[in-house]
Amino acid sequence: MLNVNNLNAYYGEAQVLHNVSVSVGRGQVVVMLGPNGHGKSTLLKAICGLAESVAGEISYQGQPIDHLSTDKLVNMGVAYIAENRELFPYMTVQENLKLGAYVKAARPHEKKNMAKVFSLFPRLKERRTQLASTMSGGEAKMLAVARGLMSNADFLCIDEPSLGLQPSLRLELFSTIKEINKQGKTIFLVEQNIPHIAELADKIYVMEEGCISFEGNSKEALGDKHLKEIFLGM
């Protein structure tokens, strides 16, 4: 569904990604792991048209998308869910969700998706008239994921959903992501750490210093000596 081929990305003078190639199949959950600051987020941003300077090929459903702006990508069904949420602080939960359905492709499905999102995240339904800025970290995270779903996208790029969440909420969010995947969405997810993620993933990549250092399924990942060292300190 998504193919990234020999992608290089730069941040000012510094090269952040080196010849990165990744592929995500329809209906999969693919997870990109790696230490902080090694380029995982940049890759997601590059896919979603949010990175500054990028060279290489990115294609979605066979079409090249590397020069498209974010609004066109969202309209095509590629949505980005940011690590730091990027909500609209002085708007209510409901308004934030409504804006999630801003692009043309999402508008006809707004009602249906709103109901879906509220059944996935009942807490958001309870708080729908509350301002986004008054929500707790966990709730804000849920709202960010929910807003991404409102775009009716088939392909979700989720940047570190578990960051800053307590373990119980983390598990809850992962199981919701699994549920979203079961409902037919393809998911490309970035995480720092391996626990809980392995059972979710159909495929795991590891990125170190801007290069892909591992590719395989979760079983292989859990058995890999080097990965154990960097993630579990064993």
User: One symbol per residue from 6 to 45: x for binding another protein (CB under 8 A), - otherwise; what is it?
Assistant: ----------------------------------------
Q: Which stretch binds another protein (CB under 8 A): 73-81, 168-176, 188-196, 202-210?
A: 73-81
Q: Which of 5, 8, 23, 70 binds another protein (CB under 8 A)?
A: 70
143 lies in the site for another protein, by CB under 8 A: no
CB of 117 to another protein, least distance (A): 14
User: One symbol per residue from 76 to 115: x for binding another protein (CB under 8 A), - otherwise; what is it?
Assistant: ---xxxx--xxxxxxx---x--xxx-xx--x---------
Residue number with CB closer to another protein (2 or 157): 157
Q: Which of 147, 170, 185, 203 binds another protein (CB under 8 A)?
A: 147
Residue number with CB closer to another protein (102 or 214): 102
- Rounded Cα gap, residues 155 and 159, in angstroms: 13
CB of 12 to another protein, least distance (A): 11
Backbone angles phi, psi at 150, to 5 degrees: -60, -20
CB of 146 to another protein, least distance (A): 12
CB of 81 to another protein, least distance (A): 8
CB of 183 to another protein, least distance (A): 20
CB of 157 to another protein, least distance (A): 10
- Rounded Cα gap, residues 213 and 221, in angstroms: 11
Q: Taking the CA atoms of 72, 77, 80 and 85 in sequence, report the sign of the dihedral they define.
A: positive
Is residue 51 a contact partner of residue 42, using CB atoms and an 8 Å limit? yes
Using alpha carbons, list the distances in angstroms from residue 40 to 28, 79, 97, 152: 18, 16, 26, 24
CA Rg value for the chain: 17
Q: Which of 9, 17, 74, 158 binds another protein (CB under 8 A)?
A: 74
Q: Which of 1, 16, 22, 75 binds another protein (CB under 8 A)?
A: 75
Binding footprint of another protein on the chain (CB under 8 A): 48, 50, 69-71, 73-75, 79-82, 85-91, 95, 98-100, 102-103, 106, 147, 151
